[in-house]
Chain A
Amino acid sequence: MNPNHVGANSFARLANRVRMNSHLRGVHPESHKALSAEPPIRVLPLPERLFVPLQQHIGAPARHLVSVGEKVKKGQLLAASVGLVSAPVHAPTSGRIIAIGDFPGSHPSGLEMPTLTIEPDGDERWIESEPPSNPFALSPEEVALRVGAAGIVGLGGAAFPAAVKLNLSRRSEVHTLIMNGGECEPYLTCDDRLMRERASQIVEGIRLIAHATGASEILVGIEDNKPEAIAAMRTASFASPVRVVQVPAMYPMGSEKQMIQVLTGQEVPAGGRAADIGVLVHNVGTAFAVQQALRLGRPLVSRIVTVSGGAIMAPCNLEAPIGALAADLVRACGGLRSDAARLVLGGPMMGTQLSSLDVPLVKGSSGVLALTSAEVEQTRPGPCIRCSSCVSACPMGLLPLEMAARIRAGDPASAVDWGLKDCIACGSCSWVCPSHIPLVHWFNHAKGDLAARERLKMKNEATKKLADERSERMARIVREREEAARLRAAKKAAADAAKKAAAEAAAAAKAVEKAAEKAKEEVAP
């Protein structure tokens, strides 16, 4: 690697990096990026319907604010964020809301999720907005606030609300901002095209993010298989604090932890976050969305999506509104060949397999892939031969074969002792396994299983409390009844006694009267 790329003041870091590189583990799947990297980004023709899910991010689903039949403008707030970790959803075009209800989503479960259906009117009328004349004059809090209000989430795929990350970084005083232009997933070229075509906007977005977090060192990591993107970003960031660094092409280079390790030589501690070592990582696409939100006042309503794979007629990158169906995108790229064997939303390593193309695009969708049977290997798993290929491949330095053996034996809890929680689910282990064991599937299953157990435990505790409260209440009711009965009995006794006393007094009075009369009679004669 050429030291000039990094800048003069970072020889120490460079030395570190070289050392770390020699330790870096991962895999080298065939990139297939040439399929879609060359044609420029096209704008998807407006589909007939847009299906906008209310949950497109990690965290709580947004709460919708519109009703059926309502007319909306492009960029209008459709659903507000709920809670601390959440993101609002905006109208991807102008039109009418024609349905609010459940619609199949891009979730691997295939479960339906609350979705707004919009019938576009074709005018693409934006809402009026007043972008700040100089976004750099805003306070960091204000920038984070606007990023949150624009519904921006991490566009690299995880879809974590960007404003939450900005606020967290400011609180934990990050010093280094890393922009992730790794894009290590095969087939995907959306970040590559975005960096080639809109580098100046990205760089401005990066500077805004740095302004919002107070990071002093800004690095952009781009894999060396994207020379045009590196050149474009270098030109755009000339004479700015943003430094573009070329990193080796390797999967999973675009993973946050690996990118940090390569660029800073530091490792995120196990179970920790990037902010723990003073680093914040954002995707380059997120920087573009931030620039659009702060310069133009436009919320996140569209994104660049790679439509690729051997079964796509004319692979390319599309700028598509959120809510467009995967089928709309495929149609715009010439449609499917007959030999499509697998449909994927996202990248082939970590994406979601789709059973149908009728699922909407969400903010975190980076690609729609249609792969031929030659591109996907469908082999039944064999027994583990303990070759340890997965160990050499695991970028987190874990022992996938050991973890999988424990999970298979029905003991996912002990897999945690072997580092299950540090697994980033990149799928490198499954990719190298000569026995075709779906290792990452085992880990995802185990993580879900453990989370379900944790939920059950918490529920048991909560219901136990409810049961205790109820039995206490029942005991109190019985006690109160008894007390009331006793009180009533006492009152009755008192009343009876009073009555008796009154009767006795009356009788006594009568006796006295009688005696008096008698005396009178005796006296009278």
Chain B
Amino acid sequence: MIAALLSLTLLGLALGFGLGYAAIHLKVEGNPLVEELEAMLPGSQCGQCGYPGCTGAAMALAEGSAPITLCPPGGRPLVEVLAAKLGVEVDLAGMADSGPQVAEVQEDLCIGCTKCYKVCPTDAILGAAKQIHAVFREACTACGKCVDVCPTEATRMIPLPATLQTWYWSKPEVAA
């Protein structure tokens, strides 16, 4: 009895320390660039880039197999930070920038089917069965998932309206 207890305890301790040592000293490093890139991406896992979520997109970006303009919700500001991070030259003139967008539920078309709020990756839609849904603009990443699932085309993307808190001077005209 004592011999069995002792031998099992010793075995457990030895294996535990071994595993603990391995976890610290033999750690397999993930690509730190992937992590950094992922932190820059919106993180809504919308899949519009064609990759399985933002981690997949970050891996593709790190490998260089995806263009840095891949993320529609990130828009132009994201392209700029990605270009700076990856040291890539990018011609933004060609990229259509509709400015920041946000989803909107048109109340006269919404039938309260709850499909959109079930797919929203950031819980930005408030709704219940047979109730008109509404979008929290602060939480919406404009990923467009809700637009795809809406059976009545009640959800759509609109440019984020300027408010007194967000408006700022436009770019002045440059010398000819």
Contact = CB atoms under 8 A, between A and B. Distances in A.
A380 B176 contact: yes
B2 interface: no
Contact of A435 (B77, B121, B166, B175): B175
Given A435-B175, A437-B175, A442-B172, A467 B164 contact: no
Contacts of A455: 166
Interface in B4-22: none
A456 B122 contact: no
B117 to A, nearest CB: 11
Contacts of A469: 123
Contact of A381 (B45, B100, B175): B175
Interface in B111-165: 121-124, 138-141, 162-164
B167 A459 contact: no
Interface stretch (A103-111, A220-228, A359-367): A103-111
Contacts of A408: 174
Contacts of B124: 463, 466
Interface string A446-464: 0111011101100110111
A444 B42 contact: no
B123 A466 contact: yes
Interface string A400-417: 000000001000000000
A471 B175 contact: no
A208 to B, nearest CB: 32
Given A460-B42, A464-B43, A445 B175 contact: no
Given A462-B138, A470-B123, A451 B175 contact: no
Interface residues of A, number: 40
Interface residues of B, number: 28
Q: Counting chain A CB atoms within 10 Å of each CB, which of B138, B141, B162, B172 scores highest?
A: B172
Interface in A389-438: 408, 435, 437-438
B167 A107 contact: yes
Contacts of B121: 467, 470-471
A115 to B, nearest CB: 12
Interface in B26-68: 42-45
Nearest to A464: B43
B43 A463 contact: yes
Given A111-B163, A380-B176, A456-B100, A463 B168 contact: no
Interface in A96-126: 105, 107-109, 111, 113
Contacts of B168: 444-445, 447-449, 451-452
Contacts of A189: none
Interface of B: 42-45, 77, 100, 121-124, 138-141, 162-164, 166-176
